[in-house]
Amino acid sequence: MHIPDGFIPLWQCGIYYIILFIALYFSLNWARKNLDEKMVPLMAVLAAGIFAIMSLNIPIPWGTSGHMVGGALVAIIFCAPEAAVIIFTLVLLVQGLFFGDGGLTTLGANIINMGIIGGVVGLYSFKALRRPIGKVPAIFIASWLSIFLAAEMVAVELWLAGTFPLGAGLLLMGLYHAIIGIIEGILTVVVILALEKTRPDLLAWNRIKKMDNQKPSEESN
């Protein structure tokens, strides 16, 4: 899903960079207010994990391949899409600079697609679905949707760039990434359940619940 250099005109790349800088401004503010000492190792290992899964292209049907993204995973763990923006900025910068995976001119667009759209769609669809359908199906559908809509956003950006026709772009990108999304959904569920079993203190929803439980007792004291 990494858009290479040359697929988007430079002036449009500039617009995506401006959007990225605005998102980064809010994300860095979020980190200064919410990222405590305990979350530092988690952020580092998630960045390394996201790098590993994004660098590995697994075979899917129709002679193509795909990699998982993890935008929903990060946003759900931190209960904040801002965490996904920070982690994806780092990972995509390293991938572009050292490994030529994704362009440098298109870095802004790539972070918007995988970090911002992946994180926002993943977290808010998880929040909307958690009560009606339960935690595990909600994580699966949210992460599937996050990669599917990110891929469709790529098709729209490449249509705006004059690189792809809109209909065929939406169809093909949607089709390939709908398959990859199934693997993404399974992986996201597995990682979150594993984290909940081994380190429940690191999941933001448990921390928020703990703080909510502490408040009434503090008030009564």
Partner 1 sequence: MISKDKYLIIGAVIICLAIAVMAPFIASNNPDGLEKSAQQISNTHESGIYEAPFANYTIQIFGNGPFAGIAAMAVGILIVLGLGYLLAIILRKRKPPETSK
Distance CA 25, CA 151 (A): 25
Q: Of 90, 144, 142, 84, which is closest to residue 114 (Cα–Cα)?
A: 84
Distance CA 171, CA 68 (A): 19
User: Which residue in the block uniquely carries the two structure tokens 């660098």?
Assistant: 55
Closer residue to partner 1 (CB): 138 or 202? 202
187-216 binders of partner 1 (CB under 8 A) = 199, 202
Q: How far apart are the first and last CA of the chain?
A: 53
Options 40-48, 123-131, 135-143, 211-219: segment touching partner 1 (CB under 8 A): 40-48
Binding mask 59-98 for partner 1 (x = CB under 8 A): xx-xxxxxx------------------xx--xx--xxxxx
Neighbours of 160 (CB within 10 A): 14
Closer residue to partner 1 (CB): 139 or 153? 153
106-135 binders of partner 1 (CB under 8 A) = none
Report, in Å, the least distance between residue 168 CB and partner 1: 5
Binds partner 1 by CB under 8 A, chosen from 149, 180, 187, 192? 180
Q: Does 163 bind partner 1 (CB under 8 A)?
A: yes
Contacts 24+ apart (CB under 8 A), 202-208: 202/38, 202/39, 202/42, 202/77, 203/77, 204/77, 204/78, 204/79, 204/80, 205/79, 208/79
Closer residue to partner 1 (CB): 19 or 60? 60
Report, in Å, the least distance between residue 205 CB and partner 1: 18
